[in-house]
């Protein structure tokens, strides 16, 4: 046996082929964490290269660097004979590279169908229609996905998603295929089919190089060449056989452990399972299910499943993706009410309201149920408290869990910065913090490296055997299934068989559990296929890469084809979300009606009251003069000053008139007398209007009085003023407001639609398609923008029709000018949303930012109420450049003032400028690589 | 025990928010600079109103009239020819255009009562009505004082002593500042709770909470108190430092009473946020829903235009919206110095609206959780 000190110097044997990628001194840091440390490595071309190593050692980082999805921090990487730091080379090389990121279907678009997903990639690489259909047809039938071409990608099982991902990656005949853990979380049968597919493809395209990261050592054993990594460093890089020889081990799993530095190796012990005590079966029943059935609509996800699990038993649940394991587990935890049948925990029926039972159960889901914003410690403490552990016991318990799960050094880190496997450990620690009597674990070890998995199982076995904790676990790993006391095989909602692993192998008469498993599954699929015409045909031949790599020659700076490819996809996604479409269209109609009628500057029906201390005919006539108008409504008279004060404070009256004692007498005597008027100044606009009304009516009353006393001569003034209210002769709010509401809505709704467009892809992961395809930033943004511009313009037509038909507001000017303005404005509004989207990192921030950046400027600074020229300070500056201001002028000009293009040219210019400026800004803010 | 869960869950929300620097910045921005510019930009009803004058008389009287228009009420008048008048108004350059006819001074002195034409762009509602009143008064005053040398004008027998209470100068920025704060309270509370719920759903953490010994009520209550606290703190800070301090708006009543009212309002709006969060299936849908709900809430609550002038149906419907009552109580407390004796009906109504919204969201929340699990 050869001693290996891998940390000191990795042993590298020369690769058998010229390298497809060369890495020199490559390092990568995430903040203070070192992901890769000075890696120097040549990757052979034309072969299958596997990357193995524990979680978080930098395999994914390395692959994304090679794919060009991530920005190189230091060192040199050359792929396909060119420098990946050079954007020009990346653009030229990426049509020859295909990259499938980690996570099931992460780069697929869930609402698009299987065919549409593949079609999107095909268009992106510039295949003509005929070629595209031919290629997609071939790939889909080769992967057995042809019968499901119309199914949305989001509704596929995990294994099918990965096959579709592969189709999308292979559509452009890449020379380099990069797969990051493509089979993690995929059941053995699908996994086997996946590798068979890759093998056939390689037969067709022998020159293709494949880089694969995997957590399955038995998969890695079949690769041509292996790269073993640990803690950001290289342990070894050679063929599997040599690796085994060098470490003197029989399996890769052992070889890998042998390669680890001594400090990590020390803690490792092979998992030993003490047999269950014979009296165990006579013990109490922990979980019991009878005829458990779950239907979603007419789809039966789980079909009368029954089982019984004793206390302290480790019960494994195996099955293909989407066979109903997760649904069954959710029914057991009470998350889903069963359609039929009954489940009992600790002898009590599952009841979602039963808080006591929940305290005895620990549950861990497939997706990480951790709070990304809380540190590891905070997550643990929070859960301890929620499980109502005594406060004084929590710190000790948290320390204990941290030690047990090897999290002690990461207590203050955020889960997001932890590698997948560590996060899984944290999830389990969280599920066990309260010392539950039962653990329900849904694929807890998916994506976890072998060492960590063994450590994890050691803990579980200790729990089961020593503390009599019942464990109900689902898994895709056969060596884990073998460790269970009993397992159930599930397929298409039904339990096929339940027994001890050894008994199953014996029953099928095979050597391994995997073979037994696949045997049962194939049998089940055959029996289903008999009655099901849509079952996949046998995978057909893989198309050989006869044509030259398409798109390579066309990777210029701007391609309409790629732009339309993104455009088409975005439009399809929008069409698949009818709720969003309806909200956008119907919503703007509702808002327009509400605002058209609601924003009313005509102040009418103001409440006023009189404190009449004179109580004569004349004083009452004065009050009648006010209450007789449509502007004022008289309230009960005011008793005294205290009453006046109280009612004004309460907002009951907005105007109080005080007529002094001796009013009538003074007036007749001709001595000066004053009427007091108090206006509620809390709302200045209203107060101003009230003031105007009162002054006018006072003058009117005085004139009347004078006419009665002196005859008509006295009323003639020195000069008169003739007021012409233009465009809106009645000074009504509606004709003034409706044309202003259209620009307002056309800003806010389209901006909100696009604001989430990019940031959503960032959050959900499909942005990686943009990183690794030849799409330029401008193509990406414009492609995304076009559907929303169309939607916004449709919205404009709808709102205009509403203004004309419902509000009876004719367009007095040129409709063409209005429509042209609206088209420009729609582009500007959607571009503004994209700028926000390109800049923000999270959807919430984009949402909030958009409301802040649209509502305030559009409502207050764009001249809806106050002309921009009257504004002050920053508001005035914003008002001058904000697009709404200019479209508002166009809308009012064409609706009310009868204007056309030539009159409004001054308003078109700023819009014409805003469009390229905003698009350029969005393009600059968008990153073409992950930093 | 229950209270402890609600406390811990709320604590978690606060911690999450602290980790999000962009959100913190946006909250800070909304309650400081946004309030400041909104208020500082808000013109007096008649502020720098653009006016043009066509002087066909060119007499001492017409010059006198032209000189009477100056900032801040009006921009210095643009002297234009008659032919320019229509085009300028069409382009939106002027709100008002005054046409003084030839021989105006002569006719006035001769007592022939000549006519000045005043053209008003009536699509600019806010200036049109009040502004034309001002212009009439200004021109009238100038003519009278011009005439004073020639003939005596008797003083009007009845004087009208007009006084505006609570805001004697009718300073619009006072109003704007507080109303902006109020709008932000509503916006932020709805977005924070709703989006936080959707994010938890998208990340699968809600489901996880449900298998723990916590009830949907506790989950919701935790969110409500935490987000309400954030907004309340931001409101208090904004009111004291920005509105009272920077903008020097005098506040008449008790800030504490106002904050108590805000807390009740937040109870209602955070519940509404959760309700919307259960309706929307994804963040883009939520974004549209927020726009759809927020805009009418803000515009029809009485913080932009007076409630009295809205159609009866709108007034009635808006009684169900928490904003309406919040705006009423805010105006009463902050401007008119009203006490609890005056605003208690609004407090009671807010409690009722809040409780029903909370109840409604809780029912919805339970249902959606069951559907999505």
pLDDT, one tens digit per residue, over A305-339 is: 888 888 888 999 888 767 788 888 888 887 778 88
Mean pLDDT of A554-561: 68
What is the enclosing helix (H) or strand (E) of B280?
Answer: none
The answer to whether position B179 is within a domain reads: yes
pLDDT at A710: 54
- Contacts with B209 from chain A: Cβ below 8 Å: 386
What are the tens digits of pLDDT across the range A565-600?
A: 888 889 988 888 888 888 888 888 988 888 887 776
Percent of chain A with pLDDT over 70: 90
Q: What is the mean pLDDT of chain B?
A: 84
Give the residue ranges of DSSP H helices in B19-101. 21-31, 33-41, 60-67, 82-90
The confidence band for A9, taking pLDDT boundaries of 50, 70 and 90, is very low
Kindly report which listed range (A91-95, A570-574, A666-670, B281-285) carries the lowest average pLDDT score.
Answer: A666-670
Given a cut of 90, is residue A832 above it in pLDDT? yes
The count of structural domains within chain B is 2
- Same domain for B290 and B363, yes or no, is yes
- Same domain for B176 and B276, yes or no, is yes
The confidence band for A281, taking pLDDT boundaries of 50, 70 and 90, is low
Q: In what order do the strands lie in the sheet with A176-180?
A: A11-12, A233-238, A225-230, A48-52, A209-213, A176-180, A97-100
The answer to whether position B158 is within a domain reads: no
Given a cut of 50, is residue A553 above it in pLDDT? no
Mean pLDDT of B192-198: 87
Mean pLDDT of B326-331: 89
Count of A-B CB contacts under 8 Å: 448
Kindly report which listed range (A6-20, A451-465, A500-514, B57-71) carries the lowest average pLDDT score.
Answer: A6-20
Please answer whether residues A599 and B299 qualify as being in contact, where contact means their C-beta atoms are separated by less than 8 angstroms: yes
pLDDT at A368: 55
- Same domain for B79 and B135, yes or no, is yes
Given a cut of 90, is residue A751 above it in pLDDT? yes
Nearest residue to A240 (alpha-carbon basis) of A4, A454, A20, A52: A52
- The C-alpha atoms of residue B370 and residue A660 are separated, in whole angstroms, by 70
Given a cut of 50, is residue B199 above it in pLDDT? yes
pLDDT at A7: 38
CATH number at residue B106: 3.40.1710.10
Q: DSSP per residue over B80-122, as a string?
A: --HHHHHHHHHTTS-SEEEEEPTTHHHHHHTT---EEEEEEET
- Same domain for B202 and B350, yes or no, is yes
What are the tens digits of pLDDT across the range A652-661?
A: 888 899 988 8
The confidence band for B202, taking pLDDT boundaries of 50, 70 and 90, is confident
The confidence band for A455, taking pLDDT boundaries of 50, 70 and 90, is confident
The answer to whether position B166 is within a domain reads: no
Q: Tell me the nearest-neighbour CA distance from B244 into chain A, angstroms.
A: 16
Given a cut of 80, is residue B220 above it in pLDDT? yes
Q: In what order do the strands lie in the sheet with A340-345?
A: A299-310, A285-296, A340-345, A348-349
- The C-alpha atoms of residue B119 and residue B243 are separated, in whole angstroms, by 38
The confidence band for B372, taking pLDDT boundaries of 50, 70 and 90, is low
Q: What is the mean pLDDT of chain A?
A: 82
pLDDT at A714: 43
- Same domain for B197 and B310, yes or no, is yes
Q: Which of B34, B122, B300 sits opposite A856 (nearest CB)?
A: B34
Boundary residue ending a domain (B148, B182, B205): B148
- The C-alpha atoms of residue B89 and residue A456 are separated, in whole angstroms, by 79
What are the tens digits of pLDDT across the range A438-450?
A: 888 888 877 677 7
What are the tens digits of pLDDT across the range A661-696?
A: 888 888 887 777 888 888 888 888 788 878 878 887
- Same domain for B101 and B177, yes or no, is no
The answer to whether position B159 is within a domain reads: no
pLDDT at A715: 43
For residue A690, what are its two tokens? Answer: 């009230």
Given a cut of 70, is residue A716 above it in pLDDT? no
Domains of chain A: 11-266 (3.40.50.300), 278-500 (3.40.50.300), 560-595+731-925 (no CATH), 606-715 (3.40.1710.10)
The answer to whether position B161 is within a domain reads: no
- The C-alpha atoms of residue A859 and residue A848 are separated, in whole angstroms, by 16
Boundary residue ending a domain (B84, B114, B148): B148
Q: Which of B12, B158, B288 sits opposite A374 (nearest CB)?
A: B12
Given a cut of 70, is residue A116 above it in pLDDT? yes
Q: Which of A355, A368, A689 sits opposite B129 (nearest CB)?
A: A689
Between the CA of residue A219 and those of A194, A224, A235, A477, what are the distances in Å? 11, 11, 19, 12
What are the tens digits of pLDDT across the range A521-535?
A: 888 877 765 544 443
Mean pLDDT of A122-130: 84
Given a cut of 80, is residue A800 above it in pLDDT? yes
Q: How far apart are the first and last CA of chain A?
A: 43
The answer to whether position B117 is within a domain reads: yes
- Same domain for B226 and B327, yes or no, is yes
Give CA A51 to chain center in angstroms: 30
Is B47 within 8 Å of chain A by CB?
yes
Nearest CA in chain A to B72: A870
Please answer whether residues A798 and A587 qualify as being in contact, where contact means their C-beta atoms are separated by less than 8 angstroms: no
Is A845 within 8 Å of chain B by CB?
yes
Question: A714: how many CB neighbours lie within 10 A of its CB?
Answer: 12
Scan for tokens 């100056």, then name that residue.
B70
Please answer whether residues B321 and B265 qualify as being in contact, where contact means their C-beta atoms are separated by less than 8 angstroms: no
Please answer whether residues B10 and B222 qualify as being in contact, where contact means their C-beta atoms are separated by less than 8 angstroms: yes
Is A599 within 8 Å of chain B by CB?
yes
Contact A681 B164 (CB under 8 A): yes
The answer to whether position B206 is within a domain reads: yes
Given a cut of 50, is residue A713 above it in pLDDT? no
What are the tens digits of pLDDT across the range B27-81?
A: 999 898 888 888 877 666 677 788 999 999 889 888 988 988 888 788 888 899 8
Q: Which of A577, A600, A841 sits opposite B309 (nearest CB)?
A: A600
What are the tens digits of pLDDT across the range A844-890?
A: 888 888 988 898 888 888 887 777 877 777 888 888 899 999 999 99
- Same domain for B340 and B232, yes or no, is yes
Nearest CA in chain B to A353: B215
- Same domain for B32 and B88, yes or no, is no
Please answer whether residues A893 and A904 qualify as being in contact, where contact means their C-beta atoms are separated by less than 8 angstroms: yes
- Contacts with A373 from chain B: Cβ below 8 Å: 15-20
Nearest CA in chain B to A330: B373
- Same domain for B271 and B328, yes or no, is yes
Domain range for residue B81?
51-148
pLDDT at A662: 85
- Same domain for B348 and B279, yes or no, is yes
The confidence band for A924, taking pLDDT boundaries of 50, 70 and 90, is very high
Q: Which of A334, A352, A756 sits opposite B287 (nearest CB)?
A: A756
The confidence band for A163, taking pLDDT boundaries of 50, 70 and 90, is confident
Given a cut of 70, is residue B246 above it in pLDDT? yes
Given a cut of 70, is residue A538 above it in pLDDT? no
- Same domain for B247 and B279, yes or no, is yes
Q: State the SS3 of A881-905.
A: HCHHHHHHHHHHHHHCCCCCHHHHH
Mean pLDDT of A80-100: 86
What are the tens digits of pLDDT across the range A18-58?
A: 788 889 889 888 777 788 888 898 888 888 999 988 777 78
Question: B219: how many CB neighbours lie within 10 A of its CB?
Answer: 23
pLDDT at B44: 62
- The C-alpha atoms of residue B200 and residue B210 are separated, in whole angstroms, by 12
Q: DSSP per residue over A200-252, as a string?
A: HHHHH-TT-EEEEE-S-HHHHTTSSEEEEEETTEEEEEE-HHHHHHHHT-SSH
């Amino acid at each position: 046996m050869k001693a290996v000190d891998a940390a000191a110097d990795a042993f590298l044997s020369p690769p058998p082929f010229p390298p497809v990628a060369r890495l020199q001194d490559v390092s990568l840091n995430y903040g203070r964490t070192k992901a890769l440390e000075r890696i120097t490595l040549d990757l052979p071309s034309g072969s299958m290269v596997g990357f193995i190593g524990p979680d978080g050692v930098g395999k994914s980082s390395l692959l994304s660097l090679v794919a060009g999805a991530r920005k190189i921090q230091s060192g040199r990487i050359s792929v396909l004979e060119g420098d990946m730091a050079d954007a020009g080379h990346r653009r030229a090389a990426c049509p020859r590279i295909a990259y499938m990121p980690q996570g099931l279907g992460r780069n697929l678009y869930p609402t698009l169908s299987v065919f549409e997903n593949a079609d999107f990639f095909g268009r992106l690489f510039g295949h003509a229609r005929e070629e595209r259909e031919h290629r997609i047809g071939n790939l889909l039938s080769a992967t057995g996905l042809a019968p499901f071409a119309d199914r949305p990608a989001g509704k596929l099982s995990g294994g099918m998603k990965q096959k579709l991902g592969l189709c999308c990656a292979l559509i452009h005949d890449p020379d380099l295929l990069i797969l990051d853990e493509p089979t993690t979380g995929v059941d053995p049968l699908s996994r086997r089919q996946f590798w068979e597919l890759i093998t056939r493809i390689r037969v067709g395209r022998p020159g293709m190089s494949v880089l694969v990261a995997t957590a399955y050592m038995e998969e890695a054993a079949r690769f041509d060449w292996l790269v073993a990594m640990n803690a950001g460093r290289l342990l070894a890089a050679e063929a599997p056989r040599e690796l085994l020889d060098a470490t003197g081990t029989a399996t890769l799993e052992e070889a890998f452990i042998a390669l680890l530095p001594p400090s990590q190796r020390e803690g490792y012990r092979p998992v030993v399972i003490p047999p269950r005590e014979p009296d165990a079966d006579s013990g109490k029943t922990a979980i019991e299910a009878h005829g458990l059935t779950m239907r979603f609509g007419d789809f039966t996800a789980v079909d009368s499943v029954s089982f019984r699990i004793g206390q302290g038993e480790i019960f494994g649940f195996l099955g293909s993706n989407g066979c109903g394991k997760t649904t069954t587990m959710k029914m057991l935890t009470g998350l889903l009410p069963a359609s039929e049948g009954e489940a009992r925990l600790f002898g009590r029926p599952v009841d979602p309201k039963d808080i006591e039972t929940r305290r005895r159960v620990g549950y861990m889901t497939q997706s990480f149920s951790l709070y990304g914003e809380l540190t590891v410690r905070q997550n643990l403490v929070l859960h301890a408290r929620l499980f109502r552990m005594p406060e004084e016991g929590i710190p000790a318990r948290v320390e204990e869990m941290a030690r047990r799960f090897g999290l002690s050094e990461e207590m203050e880190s955020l889960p997001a910065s932890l590698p997948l496997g560590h996060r899984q450990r944290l999830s389990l620690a969280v599920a066990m913090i309260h010392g539950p009597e039962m653990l329900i674990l849904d694929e807890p070890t998916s994506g976890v490296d072998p060492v960590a998995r063994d450590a994890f199982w050691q803990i579980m076995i200790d729990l089961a055997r020593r503390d009599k904790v019942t464990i109900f676990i689902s898994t895709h790993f056969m060596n884990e299934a073998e460790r269970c006391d009993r397992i159930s095989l599930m397929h298409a909602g039904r339990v096929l068989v339940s027994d001890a692993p050894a008994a199953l192998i014996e029953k099928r008469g095979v050597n391994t559990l995997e073979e037994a498993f696949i045997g049962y599954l194939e049998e089940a699929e055959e029996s289903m296929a008999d009655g099901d015409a849509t079952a996949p045909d046998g995978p057909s031949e893989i198309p050989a890469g006869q044509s030259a790599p398409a798109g390579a020659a066309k990777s210029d700076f701007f391609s309409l084809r790629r732009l339309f490819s993104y455009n088409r996809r975005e439009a399809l996604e929008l069409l698949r979300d009818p709720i969003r479409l309806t909200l956008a269209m119907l919503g703007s109609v509702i808002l327009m009606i509400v605002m058209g009628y609601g924003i009313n500057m005509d102040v009418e029906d103001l409440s006023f009251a009189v404190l009449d201390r004179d109580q004569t005919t004349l004083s009452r006539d004065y009050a009648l003069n006010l209450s007789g108008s449509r502007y004022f409504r008289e309230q009960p008279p005011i008793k005294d000053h205290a009453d006046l004060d109280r009612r004004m404070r309460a907002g009951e009256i907005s105007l109080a008139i005080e007529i002094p004692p001796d009013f009538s007498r003074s007036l007749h005597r001709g001595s000066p007398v004053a009427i007091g008027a108090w206006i509620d100044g809390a709302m200045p606009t209203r107060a101003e209007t009230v003031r105007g009304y009162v002054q006018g009516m006072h003058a009117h009353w005085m004139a009347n009085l004078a006419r009665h006393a002196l005859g008509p001569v006295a009323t003639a003034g020195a000069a008169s003023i003739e007021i012409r209210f233009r465009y809106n002769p009645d000074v009504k709010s509606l004709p003034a407001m409706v044309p202003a509401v259209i620009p307002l809505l056309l800003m806010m709704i389209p901006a909100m639609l696009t604001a989430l467009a990019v940031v959503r892809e960032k959050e959900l992961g499909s942005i990686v398609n943009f990183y690794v395809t030849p799409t330029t930033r401008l193509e990406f943004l414009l492609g995304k923008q076009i559907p929303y511009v169309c939607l916004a313009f449709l919205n404009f037509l709808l709102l205009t029709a509403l203004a004309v038909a419902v509000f009876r507001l004719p367009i007095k000017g040129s409709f063409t000018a209005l429509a042209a303005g609206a088209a420009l404005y729609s582009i500007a509004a959607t571009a503004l949303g994209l700028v926000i989207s390109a800049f923000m990192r999270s959807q919430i921030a984009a949402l909030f930012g958009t409301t802040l950046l649209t509502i305030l400027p559009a409502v207050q600074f764009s001249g809806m109420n106050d002309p921009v020229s009257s504004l002050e300070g920053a508001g005035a500056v914003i008002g001058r450049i904000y697009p709404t201001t200019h479209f508002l002028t166009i809308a009012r000009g064409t609706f009310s003032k009868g204007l056309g293009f030539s009159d409004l040219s001054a308003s078109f210019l700023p819009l014409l400028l805003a469009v390229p400026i905003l698009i350029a800004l969005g393009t600059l803010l968008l990153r073409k690589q992950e930093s | 025990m229950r209270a402890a869960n609600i406390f811990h869950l709320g604590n978690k929300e606060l911690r999450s928010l602290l980790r999000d620097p962009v959100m913190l910045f946006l909250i800070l921005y909304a309650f400081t600079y946004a309030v400041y510019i909104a208020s500082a930009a808000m013109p007096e009803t008649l502020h720098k109103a653009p006016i043009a004058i066509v002087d066909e008389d060119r007499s001492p009287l017409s010059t006198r009239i032209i000189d009477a228009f100056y900032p801040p009420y009006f921009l210095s008048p643009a002297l234009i020819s008659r032919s320019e008048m229509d085009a300028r108004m069409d382009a939106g350059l002027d709100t008002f255009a005054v046409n003084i006819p030839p021989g105006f001074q002569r006719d006035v002195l001769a007592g022939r009562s000549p006519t000045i034409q005043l053209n008003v762009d009536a699509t600019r509602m806010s200036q049109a009505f009040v502004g034309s009143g001002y212009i009439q008064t200004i021109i009238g005053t100038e003519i009278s004082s011009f005439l004073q040398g020639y003939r005596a004008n008797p003083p009007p027998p009845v004087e009208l002593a007009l006084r505006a209470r609570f805001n004697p100068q009718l300073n619009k920025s006072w109003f704007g500042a507080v109303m902006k704060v109020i709008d932000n309270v509503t916006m932020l509370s709805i977005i924070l709770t709703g989006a936080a719920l959707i994010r938890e759903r998208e990340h699968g953490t809600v489901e996880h909470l449900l298998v723990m010994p916590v009830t949907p009520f506790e989950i919701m209550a935790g969110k409500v108190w935490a987000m309400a606290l954030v907004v309340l703190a931001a409101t208090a800070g904004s009111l004291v430092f920005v509105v009272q301090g920077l903008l020097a708006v005098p506040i008449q009543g008790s800030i504490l009473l106002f904050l108590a009212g805000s807390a009740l309002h937040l109870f209602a709006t955070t519940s509404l946020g959760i309700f919307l969060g259960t309706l929307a299936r994804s963040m883009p849908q939520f974004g549209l829903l927020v726009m759809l709900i927020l805009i009418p809430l803000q515009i029809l609550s009485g913080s932009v235009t007076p409630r009295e002038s809205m159609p009866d149906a709108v007034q009635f419907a808006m009684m169900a919206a928490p904003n309406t009552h919040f705006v009423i109580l805010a105006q009463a407390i902050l401007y008119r110095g009203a006490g609890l004796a005056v605003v208690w009906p609004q407090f009671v109504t807010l409690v009722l609206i809040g409780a029903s919204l909370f109840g409604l969201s809780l029912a919805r929340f339970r249902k959606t959780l069951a559907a999505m699990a």
